[in-house]
Amino acid sequence: MNWPIVKGKATRQAHVALPEGTFEEEHGREGFYGRVSHLYHTHPPTGWTRIEGPMKPHAFYLDRITPSDMTDPRGTPEPVLYNDDLVLSISRRSEPAPFYSRNADGDELFFVHKGTGKIETDFGVLLYEPGDYIVIPRATTYRFVPESKDTFIVVVEAHGSEILPPTPEQKGLIGMHALYDTSAMTIPDFIPYDPKQESSNGKEYELRVKRLGEYTSIFYPFHPIDLVGWKGDLTAFKINMRDIRPVMSPRVHLPPSAHTTFLADNFVICSFLPRPLEEDPDTLRVPFYHRNTDYDEVLFYHDGDFFSRDNIKPAMLTLHPQGIHHGPHPKALKANPNIMRTNEYAMMLDAKHPLKIAPAGESAEWKEYWTSWQEKKAEAATA
């Protein structure tokens, strides 16, 4: 154990009983898992007057993006953020896909913001609804069949390892059944293929395969999912947000890593859900200031009241790059003594390597988001 060095004014316990007149910043490594120091400022680290250059906090109105699959059944999701490890896209498909899909570039995670329907897969059929996380392993054959016209899905494509829940070893002291028991996950309902269903009129079935970002269509005279059985431990699966049970502490504010839902190479997915906040009156209840030393932080706001952010609504996405501070907005910080519960539903993606903004993201950006920490401008925006 390395005992921490203490210099000047500091609290004995992080996030608790801050020295009067100070603002605590957590300066840590490896996304809250590594070494850390806490810095006690006399002003909020987000109290800038201006930012010159490309690195600043970003916010996007994703419901202003029209992916091609929204108006064309043969269309595709629209990328918003990307790097070599992942692509975050938006899908708003309103009609059943006239083809089957297979992604040879990586696993796909679909977060359902709006809409209901089903996904036909090699392993069977999965029904989907708002709040679902659906994981489709790399090179699985599948097809989206929406039942509602308001489908809105955030798609995360992973180019490295599989997208998987944390293992019991990774969960550590909180135990293998937190934050959700794996028995709460749903696997596809397998229905053996009936050859009698095959068309005898010469119909072709299209399978569209994505590889290196390009599409190849393969055509069959029979159904591409003609399985009569399967076995193994690789399959598509889903978990709904309502079945995730967040860990809580009555006396200290837990870091985002405590809410980890999925892990993959060089990124992590967390879920922020309604929960009671800390009871101790000396505890900082709103998220603490930090500068994302090793990860870009992305938040998709699904539903509820986003207590640490002002002027944020469902279907918005924020990007806080490595190296620049972010933390609670001024109103949230003032409300800290009176906030006893959070009522938010949000998905967080922390990416180890810097993310780039795709053209669709740039077109839907709230350009003045970085000014929202300036108290006067925040109040004006609310008015």
What average pLDDT values come out for the chain (383 residues) when binned by 10 residues?
82 86 86 83 90 92 97 96 98 96 97 97 97 98 95 96 87 79 93 77 90 96 94 96 88 82 95 86 80 90 83 93 85 70 92 96 95 66 41
> Does any domain span residue 32?
no
Q: What is the pLDDT of residue 375?
A: 67
> Does any domain span residue 194?
yes
Strands of 86-91's sheet in order across? 237-240, 132-136, 107-114, 152-158, 86-91, 78-82, 356-357
Same domain, 145 and 254: no
Where does a domain end: 240, 274, 309?
Answer: 240
> Does any domain span residue 267?
yes
> Does any domain span residue 166?
yes
Same domain, 141 and 169: yes
Same domain, 191 and 86: yes
Cα(161)–Cα(106) distance, integer angstroms:
8
> Does any domain span residue 20?
no
Cα(363)–Cα(346) distance, integer angstroms:
23
Where does a domain end: 195, 224, 240?
Answer: 240
Same domain, 47 and 117: no
> Does any domain span residue 36?
no
CATH number at residue 143: 2.60.120.10
Q: What is the pLDDT of residue 348?
A: 95
Same domain, 54 and 113: no
Q: What is the pLDDT of residue 7?
A: 87
Q: What is the pLDDT of residue 378?
A: 45
Same domain, 90 and 149: yes
Specify whether the CB–CB gap between 304 and 273 falls below 8 A.
Answer: no
Specify whether the CB–CB gap between 92 and 153 falls below 8 A.
Answer: yes
> Does any domain span residue 111?
yes
Same domain, 299 and 164: no
> Does any domain span residue 4?
no
Same domain, 276 and 336: yes
- Closest by alpha carbon to 328, among 8, 170, 337? 337
The total of structural domains in the chain comes to: 2
Is the whole-model pTM more than 0.85?
A: yes
Q: What is the pLDDT of residue 381?
A: 43
Same domain, 193 and 260: no
Token pair for 382: 């609310």
Q: What is the pLDDT of residue 380?
A: 43
Note down the domain range covering 326: 42-60+245-382
Where does a domain end: 240, 270, 305?
Answer: 240
Same domain, 53 and 147: no
Same domain, 202 and 150: yes
Same domain, 373 and 316: yes
